[in-house]
Chains A and B, each alone.
Chain A
């Protein structure tokens, strides 16, 4: 009988492999997993140190301290990024609700970016002008748009790749349980 049982080993191996594939397909189908999206390596780490100028004022210098201190979003955007235009309306809405949003203008032209904001509205408390993409590199940015969720201690809690919308807020950001310095009663409106 031992010989007969050994012949079941290939079937067993296949069953395991098929199970793995089934799990993967289910997770892709539910939107939980996207093979082309990279999970951030910076989760649980503090915002990296940087020293860059402000978008609106080339003379003024910003560093990490300026954006840490409360639960906030750090939104990576650029005028060359078409999807950023699509999510801009939602960012405006979030800002009007009082959610602190900081902008990281990634490898862009200063004049064009300022014009863009003037035309489409400025939801950002502060905009960092990252011409070379050095802060982007330190954060692990590989495209735009991306949004980082930072807690009050300056720790990166979540990184979303792609357009930010109400669904993402509901399913990914809200469950983090951060204290948004915003009127809690208006939470439902988000």
Chain B
């Protein structure tokens, strides 16, 4: 049936074609000629025409049958070619296996990488009309602080929302985790505080029950919550009566009003709970604290640029109205898809580029294999030609063969890609978004098929043209192999040079990533991650509402943990290093000239318990650590890092100096600097340490900055005491969930996971490229030695030594390799700057890497030449000369 339809479609093409028109004219001419003859024989006009028709028979049928001849022939040729190609490949299974396997590696790798590119960069977001979704950020440009994606103050959010005319609606959210207690072990659940606008912007509704309404944006409107399908199933067994039930979050009861559909997680994949933010009147006037993320939906027909322009106008008005808080602020409107895909685009494109180069190398290699075969099949082509096959007919048959090879490679490649995608999902670091959406779907299959057919035509074309270039009688003559060999050798040499050049480029990419990674591994973190266990316990609820309650908890828990066998010391901090990008705080130094508005000094900050520096082995360079005896009743103290001491007290001793939070007009208490500690890598391994303040938890009043992360230095394997620590915490409070139990080594490893992932894939592709290039050079040299057997025989007969022959052959290969390496270095020089963003501490044109890779490729090439060269030295002149 499908076959019929295909034929029908093809017929449609022909129906409009030149052939069709010609046939039409031809038949008309025939009928007229016949009619004229009949009239010349004395018949009446009508009678003559009728007779002509009768002699011709059924005109329509004749035309149809003629047409079918074309189609039939076309289809028959096609199947004949395919059958013939299969038979030919079957006759040389070694060649077929090598070619198909090489192609499968090439297309498989490309398909796997493309599946990720498609899911992350190309596929639309899973929301209705996703193109209209944008993120709205503050764009802050101050002398001491720049951030184009600054979180938004509630004050700005309120003004933006009421003044704009470009958005259908705007929604705000803020990450918030909860301790979920009651019925079973306490668990920590990731969630979001949201405004009702979030759901209307995304146009998402609950699967069961409802989402929040504008009423629930009002403070004091009651504690309600919406949960994910996953949490509903795992924690509540998919209870059909869940609506209206209460759950305990941080010890407070909330009424469940909705369950979201499966797969809904916004903004983070691990979000399970949504709770109304219900900003109070006081919060809505807050223009100093930046903690909201804003998502909005553009009105139909409004472009991002127009929204951007209007929001900037609004921001300018706000800056005029509130100069102290809104100085240097504009607005940055970013399409949501860009927000999600943007950060990983360079990585994915670099990978796609590398894997694309590998495919080109694969094509060059298979083309080389085909050229090798072409010399064997030259006689066959000659015979086909002599038997009347046209040039195009032979070309078509050879291309059918190469496309068939490519399709077989594609089929096997898809199988490899299936594993590749599974491996990708397993290995990929958490920074790659929409991972669960990666699959071998329709578009990915189409891509795979497309590149395969394209590859088949590309690598098949050169050998096929080569095959039909020679003349018939040439190919039938004895010794024709040699005469056609020259041109073919040139093509093969070109392919090998190209392969080597591309190989150099891919390997250099991998080399640069390797250098970066090694540098990162060697970078001193400023603390010692070995033998440190970390976990997260957040004291929340009635008992911890006051600072004294929290402080007591930290002290008790730390004492119990330190009492455990194998524990050296324990401490807690707001966020451990290498996990979380934190904001910074403005501060004022006592006795200095007050800075202009918007020029307040800024520094990063953390709140820590006493013993944190000792536990992490961060050196205390000057002064002292905090102690439990620093209390709200004693002198307020602070510890700074060396970077801050250098920046703010150059050539001075900062010990004893006093600073306070906020700008000069704010009335926070003065704190005395009692210690200076070493700099650490805070956000990730790559980012240079920034000036940082450490506040003591024992004097810290703000309840939002509770200590979340705990660190324990152990004598042995840190993970071994995790269970004991759980017990110690639960002795103090059995309702506190313990999560993120990891060794600090694991944390470090996870923080370089993106780099390791890039390196791993690049290294894989580089190895593939290197192997293919080496095989390519080997193939050409082996072929060349076989071709030159007689010449070498004569040389040996004339007294050439083994060394001479070796040098002769290796020099020939080395010329190709050197040319390829040079071109490759040039190409890499032009291309590697595209991956500058993926490198650390290494310039994209790092001479060491370039030289190293050049040497590596040259070495591989020499090795590939050496084997055929050795064979050449074993040529027996007698045999070689008799052979001809």
Do A and B interact with each other, yes or no?
no
Interface residue ranges, B against A (CB under 8 Å):
none
